Amino acid sequence: MKTALLSIAIISGIAACRQEFHPLSPPNSTSTPTVSATITQPASPSSGCPNKTFTQNLLGWWTYSSNRLVNPNGGSTKYSGRIMFKADMSFKDPDTLFGYRLQNEPVLARLYEVQGDSLLVYISDKLERQQGVILVLQTANCNELRFVGTGKGNDVKIELTR
């Protein structure tokens, strides 16, 4: 699991930092060439809530509803329930909306990550196997977040309300 989390952290770091390089001016005898580099950060999606980023607004308890089960093979049987996102990038899932097992092993870790306008949700077991879903933010305001799943055949729609 440490290797997988390290890989995710490296990929996140690379995705979060884009560099733009400009060509050097041709050298001449009177001036020294200069290098110009601009580091830009991707735009942070609006949380729809004044003075809060998407990540800050996500923290806390939410009521969850979905158009389909997110992880039926992992024991997910409910289309609605409660979920809590914590500042340490873990989440509580008392209604097992994201499942409670991976290949018959109990889920021991529930983690999430925000990348731009996407919410990556992972569960893992004691054997360090992971399963995750990528949810793209569709609409946001202080008390309601709507997501849609990504990937082929992933038509899940999730709504979080306070």
> What is the number of other CB atoms lying within 10 angstroms of the CB of residue 150?
13
Q: What contacts 24+ positions apart, CB below 8 Å, involve 44-48? A: 44/116, 45/116, 45/117, 45/137, 45/140, 46/140, 47/140, 47/141, 47/142, 48/139, 48/140, 48/141, 48/142
Q: State the average pLDDT over residues 135-140.
A: 91
Helix (H, G, I), strand (E, B) or coil at 7: helix
Q: Which residues, 6+ apart, have CB-to-CB distance to 62 below 8 Å?
A: 82, 83, 84, 85, 145, 160, 161, 162
pLDDT digits (tens, 9 = 90+) for 37-60: 333 333 345 556 777 888 999 999
Q: What is the mean pLDDT of the chain?
A: 75
Q: What does pTM read for this prediction?
A: 0.67
Domains plus CATH for the chain? 44-161 (2.40.128)
